[in-house]
Each structure stands twice: as structure tokens, then as C-alpha cells.
Amino acid sequence: MIPSPQILKALYDSTDGPNWFTGWDFNSELSYCDFYGITCDNSDQITRIDLYINGLRGTLPSVLGVLSSLTRLDLDFNSIMGTIPSEIGMLSSLDYLYLASNSIMGTIPSEIEMLSSLEWLDLRWNSIMGTIPSEIGMLSSLDYLYLASNSIMGTIPSEIGMLSSLEWLDLRWNSIMGTIPSEIGMLSSLDYLYLASNSITGMIPSEIGMLSSLEWPDLR
């Protein structure tokens, strides 16, 4: 087992820690649980990392996947580059993953299907490419899916209909093609559907009439 301070040091080193707005001093007498943006449980296991708008610049280390007690990872509004490591799928307790407004590239790793507790996935405003992996349908606890303003192509996978808890689906400002899958009608909890500014073709499926909770359908 890799010690938690070593994992945090890897994150610090790979994201230009000395130039963060609020940094960490590994030479101080402070416990790592008292570092800025870190929350621990009673066993000193890291449960939250909140470093949004903190000047992170670099890549995410794969060793983050060792933090099995992590429930929240919030790195929004930084300058993180590179890809989302496949080891993200090892974060079995993760409820919230916020990586919006960075410079992340590459594809959404299929290992994301392992995050069975995930309720909120926010990857907006990056440079993510490739397709929406069909494995995303395995996120049975997902309430909010934000993939807007990336470079995502391909079609909307039919497996998206498996997300029975989904309340918010935002795929705006991408290069998504093909038709809207009829399985969209299975999203019985959906309140907001944003598909504007893509290259979607075909007809609006009649199954959209099954979305009795839908408040805002945006297909511009």
C-alpha cells in the first residue's frame, strides 16, 4: 500500500505544486489531513481532494487510483493537461468527479464503468476526443453527466438509457453525429436534456414523450 503522503506528493509534483495558489509544505509538522483542500476520515484515509481554481498545471498521476476511500475529487478550473488515467476506475468510493475547465485531452477511459458509486461526472470545457464509451451505461448511480464543450465525436451510445437515475444530460458543443437513440426514453428521471450544437441527424424519437419529468429539452 502506497502511503497517502506519497500519493499527495506525486499529485503535487506532477501538477507544478510550487506554483499553486495555495500549496502544501511537506516539511512542516502538519498532518497531510490538515493540508489545504484535503479531508480525511477518522482513520486518516483521504476522502476528499478539493483543489479547484488553485493553479494546478501538468498531468494527473496514475497513483491517485490508490485512494480507495476518496469520495470527491474536485480539480475544476485549473490547467491540467494530458489524459484521464485509466486508474481512475480504481476509486471505488468516488461519488463526485469534477475536472471541468482544464486542458484534458485523450478519450474517456472505459474503466470509468467501475465507478459504481459515481453520482456526478463533470468533464465540461476540455479537449476530450473520441466517443462516449458504452461503458458509461454501467454508472447506475449517476445523476449528472456533463460532457459539454469538448471534441467528442461518434454517436450517443444506446447504453445511456441504462442511467435510470440521470437527471441532467449535457452533451452540447461537441461533434456528435448520428441519431438520438430511442433508449433516451428510458431516462425516467431526466429533467434537462442538452444536445445543442452537434451534428445530430435523423428524427426526434417518439420515445422522448416518455420523459415525464423533462423540463428543458435543447436540441438546437
| pLDDT at position 62 | 97
| pLDDT at position 48 | 98
| pLDDT at position 2 | 87
Strands (E), 124-196: 144-146, 168-170, 192-194
Indicate which CATH number applies to the domain containing 82. 3.80.10.10
| pLDDT at position 71 | 98
| pLDDT per residue as tens digits for the range 35-77 | 999 999 999 999 999 999 999 999 999 999 999 999 999 999 9
The DSSP annotation for 136-164 comes to: GGG-TT--EEE--SS---S---GGGGG-T
Closest CA to 190 of 161, 219, 206, 168: 168
| pLDDT at position 155 | 98
In the block, cell 461519488 appears at: 95
Cβ density class 156-184: b for 16+ within 10 Å, e for less: bbebbbbbeebbbbbbbbbebeeebbebb
| pLDDT at position 1 | 75
Which grid cell sits at 217?
A: 429539452
Distance CA 116, CA 197 (A): 30
Low-confidence ranges of the chain (pLDDT < 70): none
DSSP 9: H
| pLDDT at position 18 | 98
| pLDDT at position 78 | 98
β-strand 72-74 against 46-50: which pairing, if any? parallel
How many structural domains compose the chain?
Answer: 1
| pLDDT at position 184 | 97
Domain assignment of residue 88, given as a range: 4-218
Q: Which residues 6+ apart lie within 8 Å of 43 measured at CB?
A: none
Q: Classify 109 as helix, strand or coil.
A: coil
| pLDDT at position 180 | 98
Name the maximum alpha-carbon separation found in the chain: 63
Q: Which residues 6+ apart lie within 8 Å of 89 measured at CB?
A: 65, 109, 111, 112, 113, 114, 115
Which grid cell sits at 9?
A: 506528493
Q: How many whole angstroms from its chain centre is CA 173?
A: 17
